[in-house]
Amino acid sequence: MKKVALTGAAGQLGTVLRRALLARGVNLRSAAGSKPLTPIVDGEDVMHGDLRERAVVDRLLEGVDVLIHMAGTSVERPLPEIIENNLRGLVEVYEGARRHGVKRILFASSNHAIGMYPVEEKLTLDCAFRPDGFYGLSKAWGESLARLYWDKHGIETVCVRIGSCVPEPTEFRHLSTWLGHDDLMQLVDRVINVPEIGFAIVWGVSNNTRSYWVQEGANNDAERLGYLPQQNAEDYAGEILKKENPLDTVAQRYQGGGFASIDFTPPEARGKHGE
Residue 275 pLDDT > 80: no
In percent, the amount of the chain with pLDDT more than 70 equals 98
* Helix, strand or coil, per DSSP, at residue 69: strand
pLDDT at 271: 85
* Helix, strand or coil, per DSSP, at residue 29: strand
In a domain, 273, yes or no: no
Q: How far apart are CA 156 and CA 97, in angstroms?
A: 10
Residue pair 240/175 in contact by the 8 Å Cβ criterion: yes
pLDDT at 100: 98
**Which residues form the catalytic set?**
135
Residue pair 157/233 in contact by the 8 Å Cβ criterion: no
Count of structural domains, the chain? 1
In a domain, 194, yes or no: yes
pLDDT band at 132, cuts 50/70/90?
Answer: very high
pLDDT at 264: 96
Neighbours of 80 (CB within 10 A): 9
What value does the mean pLDDT of the chain take?
Answer: 96
In a domain, 38, yes or no: yes
In a domain, 237, yes or no: yes
Tell me the per-residue pLDDT of 229-251, one tens digit each, with 9 for 90 and over: 999 999 999 999 999 999 999 99
pLDDT band at 216, cuts 50/70/90?
Answer: confident
Q: Which contiguous run of DSSP H or E holds residue 200?
A: strand 199-204
Domain that holds residue 53: 3-265
What is the CATH classification number for the domain harbouring 16? 3.40.50.720
Residue 273 pLDDT > 70: no
CA 42 from centroid of its chain's CA atoms: 29
pLDDT band at 220, cuts 50/70/90?
Answer: confident
Tell me the per-residue pLDDT of 32-56, one tens digit each, with 9 for 90 and over: 998 999 999 999 999 999 999 999 9
In a domain, 272, yes or no: no
Q: Which contiguous run of DSSP H or E holds residue 167?
A: none
